[in-house]
């Protein structure tokens, strides 16, 4: 049987936000040696392609990558990258089985605003990790942008923001929800991004946290999740709360 297409949409400008999580949310980087190997392979395969890496962030159990690359090349690159890292990780640590949870997620990024919000989201991802300050987090492309030394294609983002100073100011803007435009446009979030937002809001056990809230408090959090860019179907799947309850909690779709 032929495989179904990987994506619903193709980016007109060939910009894609890729996310991948460890199998069963397990770590994919035990230490800095694992991270260094992953980055070396990422940079090597990107350099061998006809495109470029725009932004990246490595967390303990997931990664965020933003590419400027044609879709067919992106698919081949990610296959090589995660096959290599899986073999390296399992061989080095004596593990067996898949390192990554299924195939990676990929969201087309078509407008300048989507591109900038995605870059900011990627760089601020460590804000709730063990790192006290995402600005000094060593495993993202933020410092490369801010200090003018980066393996990434930085010119598009820096030109849109007026250089390094504008780039820093843009990242300092305090916004709980970075994926939603003020005009009401709701960018489609993949499940990794949706999970990140729920965890940052309610903690790692967000399903249990929701179950322990009063009805009004729960409905407030469900409405927040929808406003933040999660679909009703995503909220239902990730939290286990029924669609009818979710719909009644969201004023605009009652």
Q: What is the pLDDT of residues 58-89, one digit of tens each?
A: 999 999 999 999 999 999 999 999 999 999 99
| pLDDT at position 158 over 50 | yes
Number of domains in the chain: 2
Please report the pLDDT score of residue 205 as a whole number.
86
121 plus 227 within the same structural domain: no
Q: Is 186 within the bounds of a domain?
A: no
Find all residues with CB under 8 Å of 206, minimum gap 6, and list them: 198, 199, 238, 239
Q: Both 43 and 141 in a single domain?
A: yes
The pLDDT assigned to 187 comes to 60
The dihedral formed by the CA atoms of 85, 91, 94 and 99, expressed in degrees to the nearest 10: 20
Mean pLDDT of the chain: 85
**Is 5 a member of any domain?**
no
CB 56 within 8 A of CB 65: yes
What pTM was computed for the model?
A: 0.71
Percent with pLDDT over 90 in the chain: 45
Q: Band of the pLDDT at 132, cuts 50, 70, 90?
A: confident
Domain end (from 127, 144, 172): 172
Higher pLDDT, residue 108 or 178:
108
Residues 91 and 135 in one domain: yes
Tell whether 90 and 129 lie within a shared domain: yes
Residues 133 and 29 placed together within one structural domain of the fold? yes
CB-based burial of residue 1 (10 Å sphere; 0-12 exposed, 13-18 middle, 19+ buried)? Answer: exposed
Mean pLDDT of 200-205: 79
Q: Is 168 found in the same domain as 238?
A: no
Q: Rg (Cα) of the chain, in Å, rounded?
A: 19
Range of the domain at 57: 15-172
Q: What is the pLDDT of residue 39?
A: 97
pLDDT at 1: 29
Domain CATH number, residue 116 = 3.30.70.1290
231 with 145, same domain: the answer is no
Does residue 217 sit in the same domain as residue 126?
Answer: no
Candidates 133, 234, 139, 190; CA nearest to 6 is: 190
pLDDT at 188: 66
């Amino acid at each position: 049987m032929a495989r179904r297409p990987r994506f619903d949409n193709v980016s007109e400008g060939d910009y894609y936000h890729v996310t991948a999580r460890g199998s069963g949310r397990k770590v994919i980087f035990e230490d800095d040696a694992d991270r260094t190997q992953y980055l070396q392979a990422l940079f090597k395969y990107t350099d061998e392609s006809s495109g470029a890496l725009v932004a990246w962030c490595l967390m303990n159990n997931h990664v965020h990558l933003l590419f400027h690359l044609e879709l067919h090349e992106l698919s081949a690159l990610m296959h090589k990258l995660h096959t290599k890292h899986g073999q390296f990780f399992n061989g080095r640590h004596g593990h067996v089985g898949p390192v990554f949870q299924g195939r990676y997620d990929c969201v087309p990024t078509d407008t300048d605003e989507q591109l900038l919000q995605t870059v900011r989201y990627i760089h601020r991802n460590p804000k709730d990790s063990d790192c006290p300050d995402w600005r000094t987090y060593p495993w993202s492309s933020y410092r490369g942008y801010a200090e003018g030394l980066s393996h990434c294609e930085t010119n598009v983002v820096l030109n849109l923001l007026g250089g390094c100073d504008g780039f820093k100011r843009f990242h300092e803007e305090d916004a709980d929800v970075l994926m939603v435009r003020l005009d009401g446009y709701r960018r489609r979030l993949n499940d990794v991004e949706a999970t990140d937002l729920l965890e940052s809001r309610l903690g790692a056990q967000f399903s249990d946290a929701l179950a322990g809230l009063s009805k009004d408090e729960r409905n407030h959090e469900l409405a927040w999740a929808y406003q933040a860019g999660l679909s009703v179907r995503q909220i239902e799947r990730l939290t286990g709360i029924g669609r009818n309850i979710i719909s009644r909690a969201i004023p605009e779709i009652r």
